[in-house]
Amino acid sequence: MRQLQAAIDAADVALWSWNVDDDRLTMCERAFSLWGVPSCEQVTFEELSARIHPADRDRVRQAFAATRSMPGSYEMDFRITRDDELRWISARGHGNDEEIRNRVMFGVFLDITERKQAEENHELLAGEMSHRVKNLLAIASGLTTITSRSTTTAAEMAGDLTRRLTALGRAHDLVRPLPGAGGGAALLGDLFTVLLAPYDDMGAALERVRVAVPRMSVGQNAATTLALVVHELATNSLKYGSLSSPDGSIDIQCSTNNSDVVVVWTERGGPATAKPSDGEGFGSKLVQRSMAGLGGTIAYDWASEGVVARLSMREDRLAN
């Protein structure tokens, strides 16, 4: 028996039994701890239900009641709230009254929070990678169009486009630094210049991208996060904004306000802009999440002459 208990402890399994007549559950100490309820001799399923996340509660109640007619083994995953913390539990057992003894059914609870968080992170990463691939394809197409407007021969266009794509590669390294890269700081102005170099018309009479920011250091973590934001803004400009027009331009100004750093991204000379009507896409969510990581926000002014984005972030976060 001690060997069995040792195996149960090693597997971090919580045991329960359910009396199908009086709806009462008897649970081990680990189960009470998992649910975050005081230990007692018995507890009803309704009492436990108060801990189930409201979005899952009805589904779990219906599924738990249906287990008696469900042949074979079953598994239910659901969320609970414990001390203002969200946890994932998996309830497992046998249905169809299989192996019922004295009107009592048996099963286990497992804490699967870490697994669910890993799955959510994987889905987020997959969505982010899919979004970036689509953006890179759109950027390559847009850079080809930009290059064709400023060159006259195929050879000249090939050389110009190669330089732009090489610059895009350098910019992409800022978005996803190589493992083992040094953690030194970069200058904010250099960061914008490198990221936006692929979109500037080299040799044009007027610069398409103008960067005017004070000398300010940016830590590697913050540089990666800010690069994601700038990359997204530039891609949207290439698709729909000023960079999609031969006469369009982007002006970037920066100022400090107490402990905040404020960057204003202003587009001019492109098509008339309007606030998107199709809701918040993955790119917008990515930008909002990235700005929150810098302790800041991003706000848009959808002016008819061009969008203006105001990025506000904490100076101490920018230095990390």
Q: Enumerate the domain spans of the chain.
A: 2-111, 116-318
* Mean confidence (pLDDT) of the chain: 79
Residue 119: pLDDT over 70: yes
The more confident residue out of 267 and 147 is 267
Cα gap 220→303, rounded to integer Å: 33
Total H helices, total E strands in the chain: 10, 13
CA distances from 312 to 4, 209, 241 (A): 57, 20, 21
The more confident residue out of 262 and 125 is 262
116-318 under CATH 3.30.565.10, yes or no: yes
The more confident residue out of 224 and 204 is 224
- Tens-digit pLDDT profile for residues 52-84: 898 888 888 887 777 766 677 778 889 988 877
The per-residue pLDDT for 205 is 44
The mean pLDDT value for 249-273 works out to 90
| Confidence band, pLDDT 50/70/90 cuts, at residue 297 | very high
- Tens-digit pLDDT profile for residues 246-257: 888 999 999 988
Cα gap 230→236, rounded to integer Å: 10
The per-residue pLDDT for 181 is 46
Position of tokens 């007692």? 40
The reply to whether the predicted model has a pTM over 0.75 is: no
Class of residue 71 by CB neighbours under 10 A (exposed 0-12, middle 13-18, buried 19+): exposed
Confirm if 202 and 163 have CB atoms less than 8 A apart.
yes
Ramachandran angles phi, psi of 269, nearest 5°: 85, 5
> Which region among 40-54, 194-208, 212-226 has the lowest average model confidence (pLDDT)?
194-208
2-111 under CATH 3.30.450.20, yes or no: yes
Exposure on the CB side of residue 237, measured as CA atoms within 13 A: 32
- The residues that bridge with 74 in the sheet, in sequence order, are 93
- Tens-digit pLDDT profile for residues 175-194: 555 444 444 557 888 888 88
The more confident residue out of 307 and 107 is 307
Q: What percent of the chain has pLDDT over 90?
A: 9
Residue 272: pLDDT over 70: yes
- Answer left, alpha or beta for residue 58, where phi above 0 means left and psi between -120 and 50 means alpha: alpha
Position of tokens 């982007």? 250
Cα gap 311→224, rounded to integer Å: 15
The mean pLDDT value for 198-220 works out to 75
- Tens-digit pLDDT profile for residues 13-27: 888 887 877 778 888
| Confidence band, pLDDT 50/70/90 cuts, at residue 93 | confident
